[in-house]
Amino acid sequence: MKKGSDNTMKDIALELGLSSSTVSRALQDHPHISQETKIKVNEAANRLGYSYNAVAASLRNSKSNTIGLIIPRISRYYQSTVITAIQNKLHEHKYNLMICQSNESHELEKELVNALYASRVEGLIVSSTLNTTDFAHFDVFSRSNRPLVFFDRVPKNYPAHKIQGDDYHGANMATNHLLTQGCRNVAFIGGPLFCNLYRERYEGYADALKGYELSPGPNRTFFHDLTKESALQSCEALFSGKRDTWPDAVFCCNDTVALAVTTYAKNRGVEIPAQLKITGYSNDPLTEIIKPTITSVEQYPSEVGTQAAGMIMNLIQQKLKPGKNYISVTIAVDLVKRDSTDK
Amino acid sequence: MKKGSDNTMKDIALELGLSSSTVSRALQDHPHISQETKIKVNEAANRLGYSYNAVAASLRNSKSNTIGLIIPRISRYYQSTVITAIQNKLHEHKYNLMICQSNESHELEKELVNALYASRVEGLIVSSTLNTTDFAHFDVFSRSNRPLVFFDRVPKNYPAHKIQGDDYHGANMATNHLLTQGCRNVAFIGGPLFCNLYRERYEGYADALKGYELSPGPNRTFFHDLTKESALQSCEALFSGKRDTWPDAVFCCNDTVALAVTTYAKNRGVEIPAQLKITGYSNDPLTEIIKPTITSVEQYPSEVGTQAAGMIMNLIQQKLKPGKNYISVTIAVDLVKRDSTDK
DNA sequence: TGCAAATATGCAATCGATTTCTAATATATT
DNA sequence: AATATATTAGAAATCGATTGCATATTTGCA
């Protein structure tokens, strides 16, 4: 073997007195090659420690067998579960996954789109940054006809395929559940409304209230990043006045916030669920750990990932020919009732 | 633009009446090209929607700017935090990361090593499968002089660079803490001893006992996969006999097990920490959520990831020239004392 | 025997960026 | 004026696998 480099098909050919065409075809089990030759080639390949060069094949075939993924953060339950599902699905099709984190930075997201395009990934799966409202940087993919699938954080007005949870229904179910349990003063803590996720959930929440001839009261709705810190600030606002102004329920748009609210209430001596009922979103395992256990909305992240990867593969293999149309798949959600809402 | 394909440097050259050599150099800001030409080339590149083809460059330069990662599962707190750190570090160096999950399957791990090698990743970061004892399938990397760094699950007798937590010390600290708190009947639940992680932790545990002239009692040590289900079985074994045969502490090798034991004990009416003290491992956020909060060992996963990625980059850039030697970095751990051990 | 069809293999171009070597100007130096 | 030295640009080979087309050999069948 030449120093520092690998044996190639040419080396096998040389060794056997064949042409590299024959070697290539033999390794692909091409019908025009005799059994005898195939055996000799495979044997020589093993003997020489030959390793297929996917980069060269990728260039020649314009086929990288790689899919790109851009996601704000991978270290959250929902996200990492989606990734696992994508990964496993793609592996069935012998595709690799190149994962990039945008760290919620719009600029970084742009950069990553271009880097992945330069790597000639055959398709791109994206959950965009919270503050991505301009999606023009994804145009490279649409222009060159490479499948582009958004999930979770999906654009409203940008033409692309989408996999979404049924956010409206999830929030609507959760809020209705709170109302059924007798709550009439239900607060809402969510992300910014320009993000589809939270807008849908807000509407599901508001419509549920409407069903009871209620509407979101003053100082009852909060829109900010869904961290513990921000959640605690909203709690301060909610529970600052006299006791009779306090809410009797809080619908939280993720489980981190639900957890923070639960902890805050407990510290404040507010009894859950008797005086305050709480629902979260995502059904993070933590909701079952804390006392009281927290009612939450199951989003079936594995299903989301499997669908996203499956759709990308179908688009690549042209089993799916949407033409100028865009497909939008809504994944059903379920409300998992637990102690925080008295079941 | 030709249908379905991208403009290349050749297209820019054609457009401007230059050669593709000049275009290549202009885009690289090569000193032998005039400012005027550079400006024209860049302008034309933008106009034509030119996109750099990293695959072609990769083939020509034998440089993929990609690192591979093989890991049993990505959807756990420790793992996903490590990945985030690796990812961010590599991005600083303009490297991409190709992530693969072995799903704890040794066969799949083999397959993934070859697939990543075929993609000509410049280095490989690995946390191996629990049942990987033969590491020969990683030879392709060592043979071709491509950096190979293991972390967490690290081989004992295989020559490679390693990033490990100080498992011995972590377990030793935790056990000593339990002993200091007065426990004299400390059980151990860990993974199989042929895995470095658990062997080290077991030794740290056993040596701590020795310091108190104790040794692991009969039916006090358990070695199995660290799931909730297995943990509950071990609990049954621990608490099957009469009350005076019960342990007064359990050292658990991960937080999932610690959680399971805590839940089991609570259901059984065993008071924590009064009658039973529990320690976990990894300092998963869940340890702070449950009541009582669980004492655990912080492994600084971000540091592990940063070190692993940093080492790979140094090896690639030859800032680190270990020659025939192998580097082993031990990441310090800390004991985080919480309610489950009465602090 | 003769011609068609089947079987097995090789030649050479291709994918797109890079780089060595060569060559053509232009400017500087004595 | 003549030679030396920058400066700028191009031609062509290269990386390794693939494949359309051409070619050579064998078998089949009338």
Q: What is the pLDDT of residues B214-254, one digit of tens each?
A: 999 888 999 999 999 999 999 999 998 899 899 999 999 99
Indicate whether A286 and A311 sit together in one domain: no
User: Residue B2: pLDDT above 60?
Assistant: no
* AA identity, residue B159: P
User: Residue A4: pLDDT above 60?
Assistant: no
Is B113 domain-assigned? yes
Report helix, strand or coil for A187. strand
- Rounded Cα distance between B28 and B217, Å, is 68
| pLDDT tens, residue by residue, A295-326 | 999 999 999 999 999 999 999 998 888 888 99
User: Residue B314: pLDDT above 60?
Assistant: yes
Look up the CATH number of the domain holding residue A319. Answer: 3.40.50.2300
Report helix, strand or coil for A299. coil
User: If you measure CA to CA, which chain A residue comes closest to B92?
Assistant: A108
Asked if B99 reaches chain A (Cβ–Cβ under 8 Å), the answer is: yes
Indicate whether A85 and A154 sit together in one domain: yes
Is A4 domain-assigned? no
Is A340 domain-assigned? no
A29: Cβ under 7 Å from strand C? no
The per-residue pLDDT of chain B, averaged, comes to 94
A61: Cβ under 7 Å from strand D? yes
Indicate whether A270 and A189 sit together in one domain: yes
Count how many domains chain B has. Answer: 3
The beta-carbon neighbor of B75 closest among A51, A55, A80 is A80
Indicate whether B180 and B293 sit together in one domain: yes
Buried b (16+ CB within 10 A) or exposed e, B298-328: bbbbbbbbbbbbbbbbebbeeeeeeeeeeee
- Per the CB < 8 Å rule, is A87 touching B101? yes
Among A70, A86, A119, pick the best mutation site for testing chain B contact (most B Cβ within 10 A): A119
**What pLDDT is stored for residue B324 in this prediction?**
85
Give the nucleotide nearest to A25 (CA→C1').
D18
Asked if B314 reaches chain A (Cβ–Cβ under 8 Å), the answer is: no
Whether the Cβ atoms of residue B330 and residue B107 lie closer than 8 Å to each other: no
Identify the band that residue B3 occupies on the pLDDT scale cut at 50, 70 and 90: very low
Indicate whether A173 and A279 sit together in one domain: yes
DSSP one-letter code for B217 = P
- Rounded Cα distance between A298 and A294, Å, is 12
Q: What angle do CA B220, B224, B228 make, to 5 degrees?
A: 95
| pLDDT tens, residue by residue, A69-100 | 999 999 899 999 999 999 999 999 999 999 99
Nucleotides of D under 7 A from a protein CB: 7-12, 14-20
Indicate whether A201 and A268 sit together in one domain: yes
A59: Cβ under 7 Å from strand D? yes
**How much is the average pLDDT of B14-22?**
94
Residues 280 through 299 of chain B touching chain A, CB cutoff 8 Å: 285-286, 289-291
B258 contacts in chain A (CB < 8 Å): none
Is B244 domain-assigned? yes
Indicate whether B198 and B239 sit together in one domain: yes
A6: Cβ under 7 Å from strand D? yes
Q: What share of chain B is helix, strand, coil (3-state, %, to 5)?
A: 45, 15, 40
Is A107 domain-assigned? yes
Residue range(s) defining the domain that contains residue A25:
9-52
Asked if B117 reaches chain A (Cβ–Cβ under 8 Å), the answer is: yes
Indicate whether B102 and B20 sit together in one domain: no
Q: Other CB atoms closer than 10 Å to residue A264's CB: what's the count?
A: 20
| pLDDT tens, residue by residue, B50-108 | 999 999 999 999 999 999 999 999 989 999 999 999 999 999 999 999 999 999 999 99
Give how far B153 is from chain A: nearest CA, Å. 20
Task: Work out the end-to-end distance of chain A between its first and last CA atoms, rounded to an integer number of angstroms.
Answer: 68
**What pLDDT is stored for residue B147 in this prediction?**
96
Check whether the bond before B273 is cis (ω within 30° of 0): yes
- Rounded Cα distance between A232 and A260, Å, is 7
Backbone angles phi, psi at A88, to 5 degrees: -65, -40
Q: Distance from residue B8 (CA) to nucleotide C29 (C1'), in Å?
A: 43
- Rounded Cα distance between A77 and A288, Å, is 14
Whether the Cβ atoms of residue B183 and residue B249 lie closer than 8 Å to each other: yes
Look up the CATH number of the domain holding residue A40. Answer: 1.10.260.40
Q: Distance from residue B19 (CA) to nucleotide C18 (C1'), in Å?
A: 13
**How much is the average pLDDT of A136-150?**
95
The per-residue pLDDT of chain A, averaged, comes to 94
B78 contacts in chain A (CB < 8 Å): none
Is B58 domain-assigned? no
- Per the CB < 8 Å rule, is B80 touching A64? no
Is A59 domain-assigned? no
Instruction: Tell me how far the alpha carbon of residue B155 is from its chain's centroid.
Output: 13
User: Residue B4: pLDDT above 60?
Assistant: no
Indicate whether B305 and B294 sit together in one domain: no
**What pLDDT is stored for residue B318 in this prediction?**
85
Give percent of chain A above pLDDT 90: 91
User: Per CA to C1' distance, which residue is closest to D14?
Assistant: B60
Q: In this structure, what token pair is assigned to residue B315? A: 């090896």
Is B342 domain-assigned? no
* AA identity, residue A288: E
B41: Cβ under 7 Å from strand D? no
Identify the band that residue A343 occupies on the pLDDT scale cut at 50, 70 and 90: low
Q: Distance from residue B209 (CA) to nucleotide D28 (C1'), in Å?
A: 85
Indicate whether B181 and B276 sit together in one domain: yes
Range picked from A34-38, A153-157, B300-304 for highest mean pLDDT: B300-304
Residues 43 through 82 of chain B touching chain A, CB cutoff 8 Å: 49, 51-56, 58-59, 62, 64, 66, 73-77, 80-81
User: Per CA to C1' distance, which residue is closest to D13?
Assistant: B60
DSSP-assigned states of every residue in B285-323: THHHHSSS--BEEE--HHHHHHHHHHHHHHHHTTS---T
**What pLDDT is stored for residue A131 in this prediction?**
86
Indicate whether B82 and B157 sit together in one domain: yes
Indicate whether B28 and B69 sit together in one domain: no
B5: Cβ under 7 Å from strand C? yes
Check whether the bond before A273 is cis (ω within 30° of 0): yes
| pLDDT tens, residue by residue, A243-260 | 989 999 999 999 999 999
**Residue (of B76, B119, B129) closest to B98 by Cα position:** B119
Q: Is the dihedral of CA A84, A86, A89, A92 positive or negative?
A: negative
Q: Are strands B296-298 and B334-336 parallel, antiparallel or unpaired?
A: antiparallel
Q: Distance from residue A195 (CA) to nucleotide C26 (C1'), in Å?
A: 60
